[in-house]
Structure 1
Amino acid sequence: MIDGMTAAIRTARTPVLDIAYEEAGPPDGPPVVLLHGFPYAPRAYDAVVPILATAGRRCVVPYLRGYGPTRFLSAGTPRSGEQAALGQDLLHLLDALSIGRAVLAGYDWGGRAACVVAALWPERCAGLVTCTGYNIQDIAAAARPLDPEQEHRLWYQYYFNTERGRAGLEADRRGIARLLWRLWSPNWGFGEATFEESARAFDNPDFVDVVIHSYRHRFGYAPGDPALAQVEARLAAQPRVGVPTIAPHGAGDGVGPLAASERHARHFSGPYERRVIPLAGHNLPQEAPEAFARAVLDLSPA
């Protein structure tokens, strides 16, 4: 649903997936791809898209692998949630839609996908909006303990690294997601109807497998998809991002505190601006759509 209207879901076939996506705005406008995170859905952009479309931007809002109507083409493809998979999916989507270059904008998993493409295939990225800064994982360093407060915030990641966690997600994916929404956005009084609009996307048959793999792979506790090994090897070098970047960070983010992105400028070799958004939590485009849209427009050529 975008601005009160139900958007038609389209499908783009890539080498691995049928990627479901929604589109709005003039088809010949400067393209913007808006990417959701875990555990969220394209509904996070319902108030962002009308702003961008009115400003003449072509908005593409995909469902990530494991969400909504997006489906794997083959039962034999690993249900990987690793960062290389997310970035490769985004690159494939740009190819399938014949989008040579776009502003890439996202948060959480979506911000990671956008960062991967911006770092490895910068010619495809006109500008980058990445909430909480540099989102490419340093898997080699993942075993190093963090301060106790941050370890506490990441409880769900350790939970998913156990079979009990897998069973818990399978049994009550909505319950876990609803709790994470509350913890990560403590200043956002979302209602059950708002939550359910996104939660429907978690009914995808691959959701649990993709989520569990994501949180195991990032700590080095699960192997990656062999087809993505070369991409992961490039990401292991922690490549810098050279495209113009704006990094919004919600001051009320309950999983990624402000301090976490304070020194991220070192990961960017091009123009970089960090913007602190008062009160907003982790789901920044849904909590502060005007601020998010402004970041996109500041990077999007008219």
Structure 2
Amino acid sequence: MQAKSVTTAVLDIAYREYGPSDGWPCILGHGFPYDVHAYTETAPIIAQAGARVLVPWLRGYGPTRFRFPSTLRSGEQAALGADLLAFMDALGIERALVGGYDWGGRAACIVSALHPERVVGLVSGNSYNIQNIARSMEPASPPEEAALWYQYLFHNERGRRALERNRAGFARQLWTMWSPTWAFDEATFARSAGSFDNPDFVDVVIHSYRHRYALVEGDPAYAGLEQRLAAQPPIRVPTIAIDGDSDGVNPGTAHHISKFENFFERRVFPDAGHNLPQERPAEWAQAVLDLRKVAAG
């Protein structure tokens, strides 16, 4: 499938589109270190139900490009949320059902929390996915800390050099650790690995994992947005939250329920890891379709 592209103030955002152009809008975001292929099987199922499914490559991935060399290659959460909103604006989409996991889920949560008038409903892998940077230095349990080894590595220059030299190798390692029950083959990995060759991938990733611990400054353009996110705003749109019971990086999000102030349902996919839509495409698609029914009343 040929990628399409739309221009925003900051990015030329590449995306894939499934279904009729006049279908009900559904925007799905991928995580790190994955890409749009996470929805290769999921998106057509949703499109068959009349949706116009849009799956953009995030900043720093695949064919998506920054428009100007002077723009900070920020991976902060506010930038991801702003990119999603700008993507909707550029395509003239007033309201959409949004969803995603990891970085893409964070963007969907941010738009849902701060711009609920633009969101029909939210399907969120890992539930409330807005970072609480003010509390980022509070330690977790030993198993949780061990799972975050890659983030701590990226905090220093050895980690930057390691990622630069072996982008695909780190991605493969994380895929394996985070989804221990997912027997992906070489062709599946190779389809996504090309997205990590984006010239801004390393800069965006490193900035993301340093900013979330308040180790580097963010882009001043998003300072106001980050201030709003620091308040940990609730999400007031209908939501289905999903966890995998074999997720190697996220221990579960049952405790997030207080952050949702509308219809809320939590689902746990058995024998699924972190890359939920690619590991369980039919179940993820069903969550989207079920949520649309809820949102329609």
CA shift, 1:299, in A, is 1.8
**Match for 1:279 among 268, 271, 277?**
271
Partner Cα separation in structure 1 for residue 69 and residue 56 of structure 2: 21
Number of the residue aligned with 1:72: 66
Once the two structures are superposed, the pairs formed by residues 154-193 of structure 1 within 5 Å of their partners are 154-193=148-187
Aligned to 2:23: 29
Aligned to 2:204: 210
Whole-angstrom CA distance in 2 between matches of 1:132 and 1:24: 25
Q: 2-side partners of 1:281 and 1:181: how far apart?
A: 9
Q: Alpha-carbon deviation of 1:152?
A: 0.1
| Structure 2 counterpart of 1:82, from 76, 87, 103 | 76
Aligned to 1:266: 258
Q: Which amino acid aligns with 1:28?
A: D
Partner of 1:126: 120
Partners of 1:282 and 1:132 lie apart in 2 by: 9
The answer to whether the aligner puts 1:55 opposite 2:55 as a matched pair is no
**Partner of residue 286, structure 2:** 294
1:200 corresponds to which residue?
A: 194
Hey, what does 1:249 align to over in structure 2?
243
Aligned residue number for residue 4 of structure 1: none
| 2:9 equivalent among 7, 15, 36 | 15
Q: 1:9-47 deviations in whole A, cap 9, x for unaligned?
A: 111100100000010101111110010000000000001
1:284 maps to amino acid = L
Aligned-partner residue type, residue 121 of structure 2? G
Partner Cα separation in structure 2 for residue 12 and residue 42 of structure 1: 16
User: 1:272 corresponds to which letter in structure 2?
Assistant: F
Q: CA deviation at 1:123?
A: 0.7
d(CA) in 1 for partners of 2:44, 2:110? 27
**What value does the CA root-mean-square deviation take over the aligned residues?**
0.7
SS at match of 1:263: helix
The equivalent of 2:102 in structure 1 is 108
Q: Percent identity among equivalent residues?
A: 60
CA distance in 2, matches of 1:154, 1:205: 25
Q: Report the TM-score when normalising by structure 1.
A: 0.96
Give the Cα separation in 2 of the matches to 1:299 and 1:99: 19
Gaps of 5+ in 2: none
* Distance in 1 (alpha carbons) for counterparts of 2:257 and 2:54: 28
Read off the aligned partner of 1:291 and give its amino acid letter: E
Q: Following superposition, which runs of at least 4 residues in structure 1 exceed 6 angstroms of deviation?
A: none
CA distance in 1, matches of 2:8, 2:210: 25
User: Within 2, Cα distance between the matches of 1:257 and 1:25?
Assistant: 35
Distance 2:268 2:221 in 1: 38
Matches of 2:292 and 2:71, distance apart in 1? 35
Amino acid at match of 1:230: G
Aligned to 2:219: 225
Shift of 1:50: 1.2
Alignment partner of 2:229: what SS? helix
In 1, the alpha carbon distance for the partners of 2:262 and 2:153 equals: 37
- What amino acid is the match of 1:152? A
- Tell me how far 1:300 sits from its aligned partner: 2.2
2 CA distance for matches of 1:23 and 1:121?
Answer: 23
SS of 2:131's partner is coil
* Distance in 2 (alpha carbons) for counterparts of 1:188 and 1:73: 36
Q: Residues 233-292 of structure 1, C-alpha deviation per residue, up to 9 Å, x if partnerless?
A: 00000000000000011111000022xx01101111111110011000000000000110
